Amino acid sequence: MAITLNYSMAFIVLHNTFLTCCFLYLCLFVRVNLYKLALSPQNAGTYVSDESFERRKQQKLRNKRALEATHLENEDGDVFSLFDLAKTSLANPENRRNELMTRIRGFEEISKKYKHQAMFYTVTCPSRMHARHSKSGDAILNYDGTTPKESQKYLVTMWSQIRAKLQRLGIQIYGFRVAEPHHDGTPHWHLLLFVESEKADQLTAVIRDYAMREDGDEKGADKHRFELIKIDPKQGATGYISKYISKSIDGFGIDDDLYGNDSKSAADRVCTWASVWGIRQFQQIGGPPVSVYRELRRIKGDDLSGILKQAHLAADNKKWDELIEIMGGPFAKRKEQTIKVYRLWSDELNRYREPKGYKITGVEAGNVTVLTRLHTWTLKTDYKPNSEQKDQWKPIPIKKALDPPIFISEYLKK
């Protein structure tokens, strides 16, 4: 009986996994071909095609209904709606933006204390990865069919090479990276980096070298592929990247985007672009892990003492710069940091009937451990969503594609 049950459960898991993989492959096939057929340039849907944007919008509505229908209950009988909990978490765009700005501002305060130089870089992909011109919408003749996901992989690979070079040269940095789309969906990066003042020029030379290695002699490369702003400490560094943070989350504090679109709708399309192509929008470079900061903010901290008490006060008051100092400074390596997240092994089985493994349960400093996750929660679903919007997704009419790039015409002939 046990063997039959295990085989039945294995079949259900494999069946669901197969259906999920098929659905994800179908979505990938659709968006790749919509992109290559030029259905997402500026005059046919900025950043993403209207079809992908509508599909993502309906997916979010279905997720909302699922959250409304699901509740969490702990061993004390406390019950919370997942939808209400989501509004208090980083799933809420406002909370996400506020946390990012807190960390960026903390980095700036640290740079002022140590008199580090703030540098702002913009790195763009070669022209062969761009499908359309921004103003006219005309096809770029040497576009080779590279998708936004592949362009992002190019930038990630380039950055890994830059980091390796900087490590060999002994140049230490900290800061943030923001990935943002051009009108046709091709990503480019904005980097706010802090470095020791005497090494700022050397950092710039390394980034410029790797950014211009591929097709660096093409027309317009000197002007568009690499841009640099050496930030005056009196002006502040946070303002240089804050608008890109806002543009990529909820459009807060911005009137219109570069193409004249309303900031809120433009931000929605940017978030959709990141979702459908699987692109990580924000990445912290250097500094302590944000997991410690988040875990410390989960507890009241009344019974803490010593370094954990100091760290908790810094996190609770959103003093990222103070937490950096407590953790060992901006250049401290992970093994040198004074506070780490605490993990415990869990034998609880996941959907594939395998142990879930190590789970974050608290923070530790030396031989002192503080648990931050004290309750055991159980999911309960009532299947009674209260969302007013219950319309299911329906395909929308696709706008006529513009003249396809040359490689598409050749492909269609075949």
Spatial separation of the C-alpha atoms in residues 281 and 243, rounded to whole Å: 14
User: Among all chains, which residue has been given the structure tokens 């209400």?
Assistant: 84
Cα dihedral value 195, 198, 202, 203, nearest 10:
10
Number of neighbouring beta carbons within 10 Å of residue 90: 14
Q: How many CA atoms lie within 13 A of 284 on its CB side?
A: 17
Q: What DSSP string runs through 264-324?
A: HHHHHHHHHHHHHHT---EEEESSS-HHHHHHHTTS--TT--HHHHHHHHHHHTT-HHHHH
Q: What DSSP string runs through 119-178?
A: EEEEEE--GGG--B-TTT-PBPTT-----HHHHHHHHHHHHHHHHHHHHHHT--EEEEEE
Active site residue 244: yes
Strand, coil or helix: 190: strand
Q: What is the 3-state secondary structure (H, E, C) of 348-394?
A: EECCCCCEEEEEEEEEEECCEEEECCCCCEEEEECCCCCCCCCCCCC
Cα dihedral value 267, 97, 95, 60, nearest 10:
20
Parallel, antiparallel or unpaired: strands 79-81 and 173-181: unpaired
Cα dihedral value 143, 147, 149, 151, nearest 10:
0
Take residue 330 and report the two structure tokens written for it: 């901006």
Spatial separation of the C-alpha atoms in residues 36 and 337, rounded to whole Å: 47
Task: State the Cα angle at 7 between 3 and 8, rounded to 5°.
Answer: 115
Q: How far is CA 402 from CA 36, 228, 258, 342, 412, in A?
A: 11, 34, 22, 54, 15
Q: Which of 210, 244, 293, 342 is catalytic?
A: 244
Q: Of 41, 211, 229, whose CA–CA distance to 135 is shortest?
A: 41
Q: Are 327 and 337 in contact (CB under 8 A)?
A: yes
Q: Which of 240, 342, 358, 411 is catalytic?
A: 240
User: Among all chains, which residue has been given the structure tokens 């702003």?
Assistant: 229
- The residue type of 287 is G
Spatial separation of the C-alpha atoms in residues 202 and 186, rounded to whole Å: 28
Q: Please list the active-site residues.
A: 240, 244
